[in-house]
Every structure is written in structure tokens, then in C-alpha cells.
Amino acid sequence: MLDRMPLSDALAAGLRWLYETEQPNDAWMQHLGQSIPVADNRSLTFAPSGANQLPVIAIEVSWPTWRKGPAGDLVPGNPLAPNELPRLAAALEQRGFSVRSTWNGFPAHSGSVGLARPAHHSQYAAVERYRAGCREHPARSVFCECDSWHAGFTRAVRPLALISA
Ligand SMILES: [Zn+2]
């Protein structure tokens, strides 16, 4: 099994990917972003164009569990710690990235940080190409299954590719 890296390494790699990595102009990527598995049952997901077309970084529990809450409903059994999302936001500020806002976090399984600085224009453009859907089969939009639609995803540079390189 692949060793899961420390969160700070994943953060550095993801930021390098978001801001410095050029996507080929015939590649596209899903709008929800690209994930890096990290230590302690966590993943970091980097979305170049989230809320307001600006980057969003999410921290989430990789293998969530659920338990019965006081009202008998299901609640997260292994949520983020109360300080996890604020700590991620602080780490980003420390690296010089202004935080616009944060969403969710404890007691949920995931939380997100919105950044003020736009991603590399080619990262943004790759997400826009995804949103535009398959060129050859416009009626099928992003749900197309044809080879040329699939090929665009494989041409995209992923953050994990930067790490293993
Ligand atoms: Zn197609």
C-alpha cells in the first residue's frame, strides 16, 4: 500500500499544482478537484475553480464512520477535530495565501477553505473545458462515455504525478 504523506507535504504539492502547474490546453478536469491521500485517515482535495471560480481546498476523512446520535439519527463517528479546519486555514495564511472563507469542519467529516488568489489560468481553463462537456456529443455533456471525452481527463496533470516524479 502506498504510504500516505504528511499533510504539510500534500499541502505544498497541491499548492504547487494549483498555482504553478500548467495544464495542456486539450485536457479537462472535473470541477470537484483532485485529491491527495494524507496520513491519519485524511485527504486533501484541491479544486482550481470552486466557489466564485476561485480555488477551494478541502480536508476530509478518507474512511468516514457513522454512529447513532442522541436523537437517533446518524452522525459522524470520526469527524474532523475542532481545530483541524482552522489549522488548515492558518497554514495557508502562513504560506502567504489569503483565506476568503471556510465551510463546514467539526463536527462534520469534511471542511473547506476558499482562497482569494485565482489558480493558474490553465487550471481554471481545464475545469471550464470540463464544464463545457463533450465537444463531439454536446447532448451528452459531461456524462459522455466516448473515447475522446475520456482522453481529455487522462491528459490532465494530477497533483500526485508531481509528487511521484
Ligand atoms: Zn463524447
Band (pLDDT 50/70/90 cuts) for residue 131 is very high
Render pLDDT for 54-90 as a digit per residue (tens, 0 to 9).
999 999 999 999 999 999 999 999 999 999 999 999 9
Nearby residues for ligand 1 (ion, Cβ within 5 Å): 134, 136-137, 144, 146, 149
Write out the DSSP string of 69-138: -TTSSEEESSPPPTTHHHHHHHHHHHTT--EEEEEE-TTSSEEEEEESSPPPHHHHHHHHHHHH--SS-G
Residue 1: inside a domain:
no
Render pLDDT for 49-60 as a digit per residue (tens, 0 to 9).
998 999 999 999
Distance 160 CA to ligand 1 centre (A): 27
Residue 132: inside a domain:
yes
Distance 31 CA to ligand 1 centre (A): 18
User: How many whole angstroms separate alpha carbon 122 and alpha carbon 58?
Assistant: 21
Residue 95: inside a domain:
yes
User: How many whole angstroms separate alpha carbon 107 and alpha carbon 39?
Assistant: 20
Residue 66: inside a domain:
yes
Residue 57: inside a domain:
yes
Query: How many domains does the chain divide into?
Result: 1
Sheet holding 34-38, edge to edge: 34-38, 42-47, 56-61, 110-115, 99-104
Name the DSSP letter for residue 54.
Answer: S
| CB-CB contact of 87 with 106 (8 Å) | no
Residue 27: inside a domain:
yes
Please give the pLDDT value at position 4. Answer: 87
Distance 144 CA to ligand 1 centre (A): 5
Range of the domain at 134: 7-164
Instruction: Please give the single-letter amino acid code of residue 128.
Output: E
User: How many whole angstroms separate alpha carbon 126 and alpha carbon 49?
Assistant: 10
